[in-house]
Structure 1
Amino acid sequence: MKTVDKNKCPCNKSDGTSTKIICAACKQVWHQKCCNCTGLPAAAIKKLTRWQCPACYVCPALGKLPATVYTELRAMRDTLSALTLRDSINSSSYQQEIASLRASASSFDASEILSKIDSLQKEIQELKSPLVTPDKSEFSPTIKAALDNATIVPESLKMIQENLSHLNNRMTQLQDSIKTGNAASYCRSQAPAATDSPVLIQPNTSSPHVLKTQTPCKPYESYEAGAISQELKAELLEFIETLDPEFTGVDQNESRQVIYFGDYSYKYTGKNHPARPAPPVLMKVLDSVDPKTGDKRSLKANSCLITRYRSGVNHIPMHRDDEIMIDPESYIMTVSLGAKRTMTFCNNDDTKSESLDLEDCSLLVTSRFAQDFWRHGILPQNEISGERISLTFREISPHFMNSTILLGDSNTAKVAFGTGSGTLGAWVPGKRVKVGHIEALPDAVDIGPYRNIVIHTGINSINSRFQPRSDAYLIHVLEKKCKDYMTVYPRAKIHISMLLPTRLRRLNHHVECFNRAILDMSYQYKNIRIIDNSMFGSFLSDEHGRWDVKEHKPLASDSLHLGKMGIRLFAANIKTAVIGKSKSQSRVRFNSSQGRYGGAAGAAQHQGASNPP
């Protein structure tokens, strides 16, 4: 068994910015940040003589009880006093609970809680007093009739019963915790989140609330029968008949036959289709179904895969249309001709399934986003002898291999996606989502199936004066979000951009410490990469900062944001990391430092300015 070194903090990391604190009980050395004592100056820490670490400190159950006990009693009192139908309340069960609780608490000599119980008993006795019945003779005939027919509102009564049941359960838990002597642990578990988030020794970064098994969307967007006319159907069948010799099987069992048209080649499991110009009749079909997609954006499909099922024996197994060359924001349209076949949908953990009959001339619209959460297929139906032909339209391009979503703060506002001057270019398609703080990072299911997730935020988090957060907590939040992203999109690459330097020297020291923590975290996961901004050095220079055009000098009032030249270099750094044309600078420094990655980020001043991407 490994012996714990009490002369080192349990985090097993060096932190020159923290003052060491020694526990009076176990004599364990702790970093100031690791035990959430960031608000104490070094002089005050040295005067601590009875301080206990989080592993030794236990909230006392004698004398003054934790505030959560009184919160429970106040909640029960307020709920009971707010009831208007006092004569319908059976408070005998609560009298028994209070009596039992009082007997248990008396052994602890808790005078304050006993007085609270006494006052609560008096209030319940008052609630048992009968209601005063109004004299109906003073009312009009209409009001008299309304009073005679009045009944208790079911929804209000249901809400009252739920509140009483909830309080009953909480009082039982509180009673049991006092009997067993675990009142302190129970109160801590029920306490609301503190304003200053606690620093955990070993943060639990597991995220059971965001799993691949979640199903945040429907299996398809819409379905419409009779979406194309009979005239267009006849023209399509005539065209497909001329292509009969060109159809090829997708496997040795000849489960189905296919032929492909598109601006770019299309590759999926077991098959590779070269690019082939689409004939006018296919463009006519696309123009016909475009208005039927409702309020969705106009279709930009540039490929069509025609599949032929000769009979019910022919089928397609459960699969996903999740090829990396498909636009992550696009829709996939399927037009069915001929015999009716059933398409089956099933979510990732097989807890949900749906079936949809695809009729002749129908249109099915699905999204690329849904492919990560639903599988679909057409299973064999031996009783069907007719032929079915499907035409599936997709938006395909090799550029989408680098599809990117940028989650960034205000320094990324000028980083533009698209083509032309001032953009990242056609080979880095994507979009930007404004994220001002680390805690504002979106959930995984709100991102979409992008191949690259670029995260550039954090300077506002470490510089916040209104809601200060420790570095350990912010890194914990960032790591949890990254694990969520990797769980939902395991094929995506996560690029964490190192924080940029500022014109404030006090803040730049904090930036360097935070970047070291990011670097330490990144080496624990295969899919997390680093965008190293060491080219900017450790201080935001006038060359890279914002410029005052009128005064022809650097804008001294803005100490955080990049200027035109800085944004250009910053965008080039992001593009280089996404496309992957060069090695990460942090990885190069890590290799050259013989594995001492804890201090690798400190080499920015020596290598950064001379090695732009």
Structure 2
Amino acid sequence: MNLNDFNITHDSFKCKLKELILSAQTKAEKLQTISDFNELVGKIDFESVKNSLNAVQDLDLHVQHLLLNKDDLKSHQKTTERIESCLSKIAEKLDSETSSNDSIKSLSESIQHLHDQIDAFSNRPVVQHIPDSSATDHVLEAISKQLTELCERPQVSAPPPPPCLTQTLPSPPKLIRPEHHMAIHSSKDNFIDTDLELELIAFFDSCKDKFKSEGDRQCMTFGEQYKYTGSRSSATPQLIPPVLQSLMDKVNSEYCTEGQPQVNSCLINRFIGPDSSLPMHSDNELTIHPESFIHTISLGASCTVSFVTTSDDSETHTHVCQPRSIYSMTRQSQEFFRHGISKGSIRAGTRYSITFRSVSFKNRNSTCILGDSNTCGLKFGVNPKNSFGSWMPGKQIFTPVISDIDPYQCCGYKNVVIHCAINDLKSDEVKNMADIRRLFSLYVNKIECIQAVNPKVHVYVCPPLPSKRAELNKKSLYFIRLMREELLPSNFGVTFVDGFDGFLDQAGLLSQHLSKDLNRYQKPDYLHLNWKGIAKLGVLIRNTVLLRMNGGNDRRSRRSRTPWNNKHPSTGEAEGYAGAAANGFSHNRDGYQSS
């Protein structure tokens, strides 16, 4: 290497060294700058900066809001008022035009939208975005166009609505208490002679230590146990003594004729002087037979009994009980009246009242069946081979259609079973869902009336019986759907009677095995059950009622579900019910029926 090359290399080295020194100084300065920047950033209050920016933005929007032309808003308001006035006049002219109603409705919606825009434009918070005025102009232009089209359209008479829609819903039946549901059914003076009165008073005086104090009176019971609210004497009922037995026989022979339930319970009330009283009450205990009478005989001092209605407690009747007299009340009237004895109603002395009732704990299962001709074969009695048996007393009332249901016929019964609707559904006037819903509304109204006149009742509803006509079954299925989706969820006093799928065959029609082939006119019968079907119907009703009364203990096997009533038809099951029907629907796997 020569000298020149060395000089060049030395100069390059010095240049490179200078560059490195300058670069190091620059980096040191940058690092110091970054350090200073970080220190400054750490001292900045970003929350205050954010608030300041928001304040500036709000101020800007507020200034824009103040710069708006209020005359424009007033102009928009006047325009909408003018449009509404015009629209009102058009609506009066086109009141009978059905097709115009939709246009008017559309215009009303547009005007309402315009109102909303104006309200939002003038009354909105300042932090909101200001709407574009062109949108309002667009709405006004659309309204003007619709008004022009509406005015130029020729008036056309609207076609009449379908016949089914012109039929108004039947008005709810007016609840007018029947005349036989009076406070006192009958009364008679001198029902017994003086000798029997003295004998009874002497007997009661000898039993003073057996009376139990209940309020301002004393009580003692004989015969069948009768419990009521606040009762103390009912805990130890006694055998009926001979002197009372002869009086009970007299009452049964004179008042409990023509199939009336015989009285079997006797309650003695002892009133001493004017301070004695009897609170207002109703003898509406479920153990009293719903078709029975309540008879009261007075001994000793006279007394005035007051009767008031249960609805408003207004006094409606007073009855003076003379010595040796008797007055009778129906058990059903206890749903409408209360009676009692106020202090001072008994004159000086001692008064005994003897009240006879027809009492049985089985009356808690008392059942009233309101049904069509398919229920006419269901019988009540004590023989389980041809009736519901003694554990389920009651009566059957023929109600072929829903409108025939009389709520007052169910008074006093714990259970009411409704099995009617199919005759309504098969009518030619029932053509669509609107007609079926109208029937359903009447059906629900009848149930509510039954519950109104009999607060302690529980209603069991049977689905419409399937038929041999598919079209009728479609109506029935829609009616059942309304029952399940609207009636049952809204009324907890109603229970659905399951098991009606057992009346179906493989085709989903009423089974030939359980129905009649010909009716009484020797024509094909598509609706009525034969004796096997009636027996099966009796089993379903009886088991549903007694199962609920038995506290819900069901030992029967659970079955799967179908659209008809949540259960699948089973051939083996149908044969089982048919076997039970051969014995007069005394199918008794749960031990409900007994003689």
TM class by smaller structure: 0.5 to 0.7
Matched, 1:559 2:520: no
- In structure 2, how many angstroms separate the alpha carbons of the residues matched to 1:283 and 1:589? 50
Tell me the CA shift for residue 515 of structure 1: 1.4
- In structure 2, how many angstroms separate the alpha carbons of the residues matched to 1:604 and 1:472? 25
Q: Determine helix, strand or coil for the equivalent of 1:326.
A: coil
Q: Is the 8 A contact 2:278 2:342 kept in 1?
A: yes
- In structure 2, how many angstroms separate the alpha carbons of the residues matched to 1:608 and 1:394? 48
Instruction: Indicate how the Cα distance of structure 1 residues 523 and 390 shifts in structure 2: closer, same or farther if over 3 A, else same.
Output: same
Residue type of the alignment partner of 1:353? T
Matched, 1:262 2:223: yes
Residue type of the alignment partner of 1:247? F
Provide the residue aligned with 2:238 in structure 1: 276
Q: Determine helix, strand or coil for the equivalent of 1:277.
A: coil
Instruction: Indicate how the Cα distance of structure 1 residues 246 and 197 shifts in structure 2: closer, same or farther if over 3 A, else same.
Output: farther
Residue type of the alignment partner of 2:509? F
Q: Determine helix, strand or coil for the equivalent of 1:266.
A: coil
Provide the residue aligned with 2:401 in structure 1: 437
Structure 1: runs of 5 or more not aligned: 1-21, 28-61, 68-187, 189-193, 550-554, 594-598
- Structure 1, residues 516-571: CA drift from partner, whole Å, max 9, x if none? 1222222210111111222223322222223689xxxxx98222111222211110
Tell me the CA shift for residue 283 of structure 1: 2.0
**Which residue among 463, 473, 496 is the counterpart of 2:438?**
473
**Which residue among 476, 488, 498 is the counterpart of 1:522?**
488
Tell me the CA shift for residue 343 of structure 1: 0.6
Residue type of the alignment partner of 2:184? Y
- In structure 2, how many angstroms separate the alpha carbons of the residues matched to 1:239 and 1:290? 22
Provide the residue aligned with 2:462 in structure 1: 497
Tell me the CA shift for residue 319 of structure 1: 0.5
Q: How does 1:316-465 map to 2 (within 5 A)?
A: 316-348=278-310, 349-381=312-344, 384-420=347-383, 421-442=385-406, 444-465=407-428
- In structure 2, how many angstroms separate the alpha carbons of the residues matched to 1:609 and 1:391? 56
Instruction: Indicate how the Cα distance of structure 1 residues 569 and 582 shifts in structure 2: closer, same or farther if over 3 A, else same.
Output: farther
Matched, 1:220 2:187: no
Residue type of the alignment partner of 1:368? R
- Structure 1, residues 80-108: CA drift from partner, whole Å, max 9, x if none? xxxxxxxxxxxxxxxxxxxxxxxxxxxxx
- Structure 1, residues 318-356: CA drift from partner, whole Å, max 9, x if none? 110000000111110001000111111111213342211
Question: Which region of structure 1 is more displaced relative to structure 2, 499-508 or 539-548?
Answer: 539-548
Tell me the CA shift for residue 198 of structure 1: 4.5
**Which residue among 512, 515, 535 is the counterpart of 1:542?**
512
- In structure 2, how many angstroms separate the alpha carbons of the residues matched to 1:297 and 1:204? 37
Tell me the CA shift for residue 419 of structure 1: 1.5
Residue type of the alignment partner of 2:295? M
Q: Is the 8 A contact 2:260 2:292 kept in 1?
A: no
Instruction: Indicate how the Cα distance of structure 1 residues 583 and 297 shifts in structure 2: closer, same or farther if over 3 A, else same.
Output: closer
Residue type of the alignment partner of 1:539? L
Q: Is the 8 A contact 2:210 2:220 kept in 1?
A: yes
- In structure 1, how many angstroms separate the alpha carbons of the residues matched to 2:481 and 2:571? 15
Residue type of the alignment partner of 1:505? A
- Structure 1, residues 96-127: CA drift from partner, whole Å, max 9, x if none? xxxxxxxxxxxxxxxxxxxxxxxxxxxxxxxx
Q: Is the 8 A contact 2:410 2:454 kept in 1?
A: no
Tell me the CA shift for residue 238 of structure 1: 2.5
Instruction: Indicate how the Cα distance of structure 1 residues 460 and 326 shifts in structure 2: closer, same or farther if over 3 A, else same.
Output: same
Q: How does 1:575-590 map to 2 (within 5 A)?
A: 575-579=542-546, 580=548, 581=550
Q: Is the 8 A contact 2:503 2:514 kept in 1?
A: yes
Instruction: Indicate how the Cα distance of structure 1 residues 407 and 374 shifts in structure 2: closer, same or farther if over 3 A, else same.
Output: same
Instruction: Indicate how the Cα distance of structure 1 residues 506 and 608 shifts in structure 2: closer, same or farther if over 3 A, else same.
Output: farther
Residue type of the alignment partner of 1:229? D
Q: Is the 8 A contact 1:215 1:347 kept in 2?
A: no
- In structure 2, how many angstroms separate the alpha carbons of the residues matched to 1:214 and 1:283? 34
- Structure 1, residues 23-62: CA drift from partner, whole Å, max 9, x if none? 88449xxxxxxxxxxxxxxxxxxxxxxxxxxxxxxxxxx9
- In structure 2, how many angstroms separate the alpha carbons of the residues matched to 1:575 and 1:26? 55
Instruction: Indicate how the Cα distance of structure 1 residues 214 and 438 shifts in structure 2: closer, same or farther if over 3 A, else same.
Output: closer
**Which residue among 235, 245, 249 is the counterpart of 2:209?**
245
- In structure 2, how many angstroms separate the alpha carbons of the residues matched to 1:490 and 1:556? 44
Matched, 1:484 2:449: yes
- In structure 2, how many angstroms separate the alpha carbons of the residues matched to 1:567 and 1:383? 56
- Structure 1, residues 393-428: CA drift from partner, whole Å, max 9, x if none? 000001110111111001111111111111011111
Provide the residue aligned with 1:302 in structure 2: 264
Q: How does 1:134-213 map to 2 (within 5 A)?
A: 198=166, 207=172, 209-210=174-175
Q: Determine helix, strand or coil for the equivalent of 1:543.
A: helix
- In structure 2, how many angstroms separate the alpha carbons of the residues matched to 1:572 and 1:235? 51
Instruction: Indicate how the Cα distance of structure 1 residues 290 and 426 shifts in structure 2: closer, same or farther if over 3 A, else same.
Output: closer
Q: Determine helix, strand or coil for the equivalent of 2:268.
A: strand
Tell me the CA shift for residue 293 of structure 1: 4.2
- In structure 2, how many angstroms separate the alpha carbons of the residues matched to 1:582 and 1:250? 32
Tell me the CA shift for residue 509 of structure 1: 2.3
Length-normalised TM-score, structure 2: 0.62
Residue type of the alignment partner of 1:475? F
Q: Is the 8 A contact 2:286 2:412 kept in 1?
A: no
Tell me the CA shift for residue 208 of structure 1: 8.4
Please provide the CA RMSD for this pair. 3.9
Matched, 1:288 2:258: no
Instruction: Indicate how the Cα distance of structure 1 residues 394 and 238 shifts in structure 2: closer, same or farther if over 3 A, else same.
Output: same
Tell me the CA shift for residue 447 of structure 1: 3.0
- In structure 1, how many angstroms separate the alpha carbons of the residues matched to 2:495 and 2:399? 19
Q: Determine helix, strand or coil for the equivalent of 1:445.
A: helix
- In structure 2, how many angstroms separate the alpha carbons of the residues matched to 1:344 and 1:382? 9
- In structure 2, how many angstroms separate the alpha carbons of the residues matched to 1:404 and 1:308? 35
Q: Is the 8 A contact 2:517 2:524 kept in 1?
A: no
Tell me the CA shift for residue 465 of structure 1: 2.6
Instruction: Indicate how the Cα distance of structure 1 residues 582 and 567 shifts in structure 2: closer, same or farther if over 3 A, else same.
Output: farther
Residue type of the alignment partner of 1:336? S
Residue type of the alignment partner of 2:515? G
Provide the residue aligned with 1:232 in structure 2: 196
- Structure 1, residues 283-331: CA drift from partner, whole Å, max 9, x if none? 2112334565498865610010011112221111111000000011111
Larger Rg: 2
- Structure 1, residues 585-605: CA drift from partner, whole Å, max 9, x if none? 9xx999x99xxxxx9546444
- In structure 1, how many angstroms separate the alpha carbons of the residues matched to 2:186 and 2:471? 56
Tell me the CA shift for residue 381 of structure 1: 0.9
Q: Is the 8 A contact 1:405 1:430 kept in 2?
A: yes
Instruction: Indicate how the Cα distance of structure 1 residues 451 and 383 shifts in structure 2: closer, same or farther if over 3 A, else same.
Output: closer
Q: Is the 8 A contact 1:407 1:441 kept in 2?
A: yes
Provide the residue aligned with 2:38 in structure 1: none
Q: Is the 8 A contact 2:366 2:394 kept in 1?
A: yes
